[in-house]
Amino acid sequence: MMRQGVPTPASSRGRFGSFPNLLTYGRIVAIPALVACFFLQRDLGNWLAMSIFIAAGVTDILDGYFARAWKQQSAVGRMLDPVADKLIVAASLMMLAADQTIAGWSLWAGVIILCREILVSGLREFLGTLAVSVPVTRLAKWKTVLQMVAIGFLLAGAAGDKIFPYTTATGITLLWIAALLTLYTGYDYLRAAIRHAMIEED
């Protein structure tokens, strides 16, 4: 039996295993499958990696939609959703760098994106201890969309170039645009953290 406003262990387990959370778990499980694609025959690996990444992106949209529509938001989901996103982006960028789809100066775009994700995670944790929330801006959402599209193009890579000769070039261009937006949007978190840190010191 559950007293009003106090969840029982059974109800907590229900949230832990809710459909939106299962989609998030699936996104995390997809990471080793995506990495394994880089060890397959080149074209097959490219298309499979891109397909897994796109499927992961779709589940990212769906888990938020169903969590809101079915009122199944949970602490587990709020914690794991951004973690899953960052892990699959990081894994993709590292593997793209390893097979030199991203090379030379373009590596800096990947480094900027990864550093920003780590920085923002730390700043969110710090701001959370102060009960301060920094809302996601429209520009940050566009950054995420461009970043995902760029990685999708880059995962298609050489296989995609055989169909559309500018697949890799398009991916690199979008990755740089996403990296520049990353710097700008990351500054919002840094500015909020510095402002609140100074208030705490006072």
Whether residue 94 lies inside any domain: the answer is: no
| CB crowding 59-94: b at 16 or more within 10 Å, else e | bbeebbebbeeeebebebbeebbeebbbbbbbbbbe
Same domain, 24 and 106: no
The tokens for 116 are 């920003």
| pTM (two decimals) | 0.84
Q: In this structure, is residue 95 part of a structural domain?
A: no
- What range does the domain containing 149 cover? 100-202
- Pairwise CA distance, residues 186 & 189, whole Å: 5
Q: Read off the amino acid at residue 33.
A: A
At 31, the amino acid letter reads: I
Residues 83 and 154 in one domain: no
- Let me know if residue 2 belongs to a domain: no
Structurally, the chain folds into a number of domains equal to 2
Look at residue 1 and tell me if it is in a domain: no
Digit-coded pLDDT (tens) for 54-72: 999 999 889 888 888 888 8
pLDDT of residue 13: 45
Among candidates 25, 137, 147, 10, which has minimal Cα distance to 79? 25
- Answer yes or no: is 59 within a domain: yes
The answer to whether residue 44 is domain-embedded is yes
Mean pLDDT (whole number) for 139-167:
93
Average pLDDT, the chain: 84
Per-residue pLDDT, 164: 95
Whether residue 104 sits in one domain with residue 81: no
31 plus 112 within the same structural domain: no
- pLDDT tens column, 113-148: 999 888 877 777 766 666 666 666 788 888 889 999
Could you tell me if 198 and 180 are in contact, meaning their C-beta atoms sit under 8 angstroms apart? no
